[in-house]
A and B are shown apart, each in its own frame.
Chain A
Amino acid sequence: MSDQFYNAAPQETRMAPPRKHARAYPASKPNNVYLFGTCVVDLFFPEAGMDTIHLLEREGINVHFPQGQSCCGQPAYTSGYTDQAREVARSQLKLFANNWPVVVTSGSCAGMFREHYADLFKDEPEMLTQINNLAARTYELAEFLLHVCKVQLADQGEQTQVALHTSCSARREMNTHVHARALLSQLTQVERVEHDHESECCGFGGTFSIRMPDISGAMVADKTQSLLASGAQQVVSADCGCLMNINGAFEKQNIPLLGQHLASFLWQRTQAKQEPRA
């Protein structure tokens, strides 16, 4: 086949091809990072944000938390309210002026920075440099701990079995499941158990769960049942949107499991003393 022929102008694609296999990591740990906590963590899982700070500080990194941060804009973006999403994104873009890595406690929000801001601002080419710069230094937490900090976790906890749920956008845009699995495998007393249809969506999808509650409900019911059937004592995820969905359904169905953010799980497992949480 003629190469020339297939070099015809490519179609416009808003969704960039996955960059999951093509990222170069810095050779050494940075001294400073920004933490982007995400709106769901801020209000519903602040301990996940604090445990992220603890994990990063233990690596000798100064964590900066810009107080102007709110939301990455994803809810409006995926609902089709692109203009509103863009203005929120614009307000967030200003917060990361120093050239430090931005660590995000949720894969889907990190994916928003990395994959979708370019689409949001496609009519403002003057923003492109700033957006590419932010995309290049945005990391989902697990990826950052594993590949940039090259963290070595010393497990201090009891023997346990955990099931890992990875958010779909994090999996597809950031390869987060691979990073989270690698971190869990460093914990000697933790056995990661697979659950049925592990890579399937939990049914959250932001406003999808409100617009289509029956379909979303059927999906999360299958997810909670498969997590329960896995026999895992603990459920871990690096995305608090999924966790809010799965935990809310666990509670509604009286299933005695509670999903925990990966940061909190890792921090608790690697504390010298098992201090009960205040």
Chain B
Amino acid sequence: MNSQRIHAVDITARSIKANSRLSLKDQQLRNNMRSAMDSLISKRIISMPDEGERENLRELGNKVRASALSQLPDLLELLEANLIKQGIQVHWASTTEEANAIVLEIAKARNATQVIKGKSMVSEEMAMNEHLTEHGIEALESDMGEYIIQLDNEKPTHIIMPAIHKNAEQVGRLFEHRLALPYTDDVDSLIQSARGILREKFFHADIGISGVNFAVAETGTLLLVENEGNGRMSTTVPPVHIAVTGIEKVVANLQDTVPLLSLLTRSALGQGITTYVNMISAPRQPGELDGPEEVHLVLLDNGRSQAFADSELRQTLNCIRCGACMNHCPVYTRIGGQAYGTVYPGPIGKIISPHLLGLENTPDHPSASSLCGACGEVCPVKIPIPALLRRLREENVKSPSQQPQIMDGQGSRYSAKERLLWKGWQYFNSVPLLYKTGTFMATRFGGLTPKNLGPWTQHHSAPKPAARSLHELAKAHLEKKS
């Protein structure tokens, strides 16, 4: 089975450099990713064809998010007050450990043995499935992509399309192997088989888990978009619903969700709107026939307030998790999401993961980018991802003791030797005599350039300096003229 090779990438190791060495060799993965990303790129642009309108909408999206973040503490308090008023229990968690403990406590109080999950990246951040399983509670993913990778014991490769690295044949083989179903690569049949299995599970689950796309402060509304109906099932069928989300997901009012929804679904999948838009504001009320008896919201920080504290890095929290940055990223397209070794892959993963895990645990994340800018160009809320990557590189090579300390793991790539090299580069390029002497030597002795220049000559022949520099040629030419 092809997917076996993908397992070779060690998800627990966060070295993109080491992981990508393996994933780049997986031609099936490369082909699957390329065709999937190409299709998403074209769907996005078809759904937002007018450049002027698109840019205005992105500008509006940026302002809505920036404005929400500028009043984040107030909005969170308002959200909490309104949710409590409506009967939703609100829990705060600084760390994933705290968040898991909260979920477990709720589960234990209900003697829960089965949990069914709608898609939630924050629950991935918490490694909630593993945590519940350790405590004897079955956690089953009900989003089709999540279900597929859970069956294959993998981690999501994409934040909204977790199994996008697999093609229909691979999924057919997986279902044949793990579910003892007759092999087919017909997508509709595969989905129908899984839906049949999942439907039963919904009726027996003690708790439904979901994420949140936007938490609306003014009305106390948890807004959740999805296409498969599993989100609505997870949040309405089981007697308890627990929503988990990051503290940055709050927006001021319902009006604000209009441009964000428009941007989210178009940027993600090229959809004008998702099949389901769930707006959850209370548990089941007296006299109502359905809905959960209890609704909980767990608000997780997990490093977000570190990003929040710096006005530039704060823009990381604009993210509405559409995945457009990964769809357009030439690095992500080639190495796949699992090679990042972090829950959030791709460009957004490279700027958010260092806050969640510390720079020392994500040393490659800021570097694994050519800064081509494709991500920043498509980001619906205009996060300047390349500029933030550059900023993280700066934090990464700073002296670990330099004050003020902005990030956990500051200076994790600090090297006195490398700093000295750049210092030398600085003098070479700012003292004309040094520069001229250096280029003179290079042009005269360029023939002596070694054939092996380390990493460069793995994929290139060694560059040969010209016989005369432009400085010399231009000088001779311009003097002759005058």
Interface residues of A (CB under 8 A from B): 1, 5-6, 8-15, 17, 35, 37, 39, 41-47, 49-50, 53, 63-65, 67-71, 73, 75-82, 84, 87-88, 90-91, 119, 168-169, 172-173, 200-201, 203-206, 208-222, 244-245, 248-249, 251-252
How many angstroms between the C-alpha atoms of A180 and B231 in the bound complex?
49
- Within 8 Å by CB of B466, from A46, A77, A217, A245, lies A46
B460 touches A252 (CB 8 A): yes
Residue numbers in A under 8 Å from B113 (CB-CB): none
- Within 8 Å by CB of A1, from B255, B432, B458, B464, lies B255
Tell me how far the C-beta of A259 lies from the nearest C-beta in chain B, rounded to whole angstroms: 13
Give per-residue flags for B371-403: 1 if the beta carbon is below 8 A from chain A beta carbons, else 0: 111101100001010110011111111100000
Q: List 21 A-B contacts (CB under 8 A).
A: A1-B255, A6-B63, A9-B70, A53-B477, A63-B474, A65-B475, A67-B471, A80-B397, A84-B422, A84-B425, A90-B430, A204-B370, A205-B370, A209-B370, A212-B16, A218-B24, A219-B330, A219-B370, A220-B459, A222-B334, A251-B461
In chain B, positions 114-164 with a C-beta closer than 8 Å to chain A are none
Instruction: List the B residue with the shortest CB-CB distance to A246.
Output: B460
A77 touches B456 (CB 8 A): no
- Within 8 Å by CB of A42, from B66, B69, B393, B471, lies B471
Residue numbers in A under 8 Å from B458 (CB-CB): 213-214, 217
B426 touches A76 (CB 8 A): yes
At the interface, yes or no: B57 with Cβ under 8 Å from chain A? no
A214 touches B477 (CB 8 A): no
Instruction: List the A residue with the shortest CB-CB distance to B315.
Output: A11
Residue numbers in A under 8 Å from B425 (CB-CB): 75-76, 84, 88
A14 touches B384 (CB 8 A): yes
- Within 8 Å by CB of A248, from B318, B460, B472, lies B460
Give per-residue flags for B428-442: 1 if the beta carbon is below 8 A from chain A beta carbons, else 0: 111110011001001
A208 touches B369 (CB 8 A): yes
Sample of 7 more A-B contacts, CB < 8 Å, known A35-B474, A203-B370, A217-B459: A15-B386, A42-B471, A69-B471, A71-B429, A79-B397, A81-B397, A208-B371
A13 touches B393 (CB 8 A): no
B430 touches A88 (CB 8 A): yes
Tell me how far the C-beta of B203 lies from the nearest C-beta in chain A, rounded to whole angstroms: 42
Known contacts A80-B390, A213-B456; decide if A70 and B470 are in contact (CB<8 Å). no
B315 touches A13 (CB 8 A): yes
Provide the main secondary structure of the chain B interface.
helix
Give per-residue flags for B63-105: 1 if the beta carbon is below 8 A from chain A beta carbons, else 0: 1101101100000000000000000000000000000000000
Residue numbers in A under 8 Å from B460 (CB-CB): 220, 245, 248-249, 251-252
Known contacts A70-B435, A172-B373, A252-B460; decide if A212 and B386 are in contact (CB<8 Å). no
How many angstroms between the C-alpha atoms of A81 and B427 in the bound complex?
13
- Within 8 Å by CB of B17, from A50, A88, A204, A214, lies A214
Known contacts A44-B463, A46-B466, A201-B372; decide if A14 and B391 are in contact (CB<8 Å). yes
A209 touches B478 (CB 8 A): no
- Within 8 Å by CB of A65, from B60, B252, B374, B478, lies B478
Please tell me the number of chain B residues within 8 Å of chain A, measured between CB atoms. Answer: 88
**Nearest 3 pairs of A and B residues by beta carbon:** A205-B370, A248-B460, A80-B393
- Within 8 Å by CB of A53, from B364, B370, B386, B474, lies B474
- Within 8 Å by CB of B469, from A46, A91, A209, lies A46
In chain B, positions 1-38 with a C-beta closer than 8 Å to chain A are 16-17, 20-21, 24
Known contacts A15-B386, A168-B370, A203-B370; decide if A70 and B312 are in contact (CB<8 Å). no
- Within 8 Å by CB of B426, from A15, A47, A87, lies A87
B70 touches A13 (CB 8 A): no
At the interface, yes or no: B111 with Cβ under 8 Å from chain A? no
Residue numbers in A under 8 Å from B60 (CB-CB): 6
How many angstroms between the C-alpha atoms of A219 and B474 in the bound complex?
35
How many angstroms between the C-alpha atoms of A84 and B391 in the bound complex?
14
Residue numbers in B under 8 Å from A169 (CB-CB): 371-373
Residue numbers in A under 8 Å from B423 (CB-CB): 84
Residue numbers in A under 8 Å from B473 (CB-CB): 46, 49-50
B368 touches A67 (CB 8 A): no
Instruction: List the B residue with the shortest CB-CB distance to A73.
Output: B429
Residue numbers in B under 8 Å from A248 (CB-CB): 456, 459-463
Tell me how far the C-beta of A177 lies from the nearest C-beta in chain B, rounded to whole angstroms: 13
Instruction: List the A residue with the shortest CB-CB distance to B456.
Output: A210
Tell me how far the C-beta of B196 lies from the nearest C-beta in chain A, rounded to whole angstroms: 40
How many angstroms between the C-alpha atoms of A90 and B382 in the bound complex?
30
In chain B, positions 404-437 with a C-beta closer than 8 Å to chain A are 419, 422-423, 425-426, 428-432, 435-436
A42 touches B439 (CB 8 A): yes
B312 touches A12 (CB 8 A): yes
At the interface, yes or no: B455 with Cβ under 8 Å from chain A? yes
- Within 8 Å by CB of B455, from A1, A13, A210, lies A210
Tell me how far the C-beta of A64 lies from the nearest C-beta in chain B, rounded to whole angstroms: 8
Residue numbers in B under 8 Å from A47 (CB-CB): 466
A44 touches B465 (CB 8 A): yes
Instruction: List the A residue with the shortest CB-CB distance to B328.
Output: A200
At the interface, yes or no: B199 with Cβ under 8 Å from chain A? no
Residue numbers in B under 8 Å from A209 (CB-CB): 370, 455-456
How many angstroms between the C-alpha atoms of A215 and B315 in the bound complex?
27
How many angstroms between the C-alpha atoms of A15 and B425 in the bound complex?
25
Residue numbers in A under 8 Å from B318 (CB-CB): 11
At the interface, yes or no: B170 with Cβ under 8 Å from chain A? no
Known contacts A70-B432, A215-B20, A221-B459; decide if A15 and B369 are in contact (CB<8 Å). no
How many angstroms between the C-alpha atoms of A33 and B315 in the bound complex?
39
How many angstroms between the C-alpha atoms of A78 and B367 in the bound complex?
9
- Within 8 Å by CB of A46, from B62, B64, B391, B470, lies B470
B468 touches A46 (CB 8 A): yes
Residue numbers in B under 8 Å from A12 (CB-CB): 311-312
Known contacts A65-B475, A219-B330; decide if A91 and B429 are in contact (CB<8 Å). yes
Residue numbers in B under 8 Å from A50 (CB-CB): 470, 473-474, 477
Residue numbers in B under 8 Å from A49 (CB-CB): 470, 473-474
Residue numbers in B under 8 Å from A39 (CB-CB): 429
How many angstroms between the C-alpha atoms of A172 and B373 in the bound complex?
7
At the interface, yes or no: B295 with Cβ under 8 Å from chain A? no
Instruction: List the A residue with the shortest CB-CB distance to B373.
Output: A172
Give per-residue flags for B248-263: 1 if the beta carbon is below 8 A from chain A beta carbons, else 0: 0000100110000000
How many angstroms between the C-alpha atoms of A245 and B443 in the bound complex?
19
How many angstroms between the C-alpha atoms of A8 and B468 in the bound complex?
55
How many angstroms between the C-alpha atoms of A42 and B475 in the bound complex?
12
A216 touches B20 (CB 8 A): no
Instruction: List the A residue with the shortest CB-CB distance to B436.
Output: A67
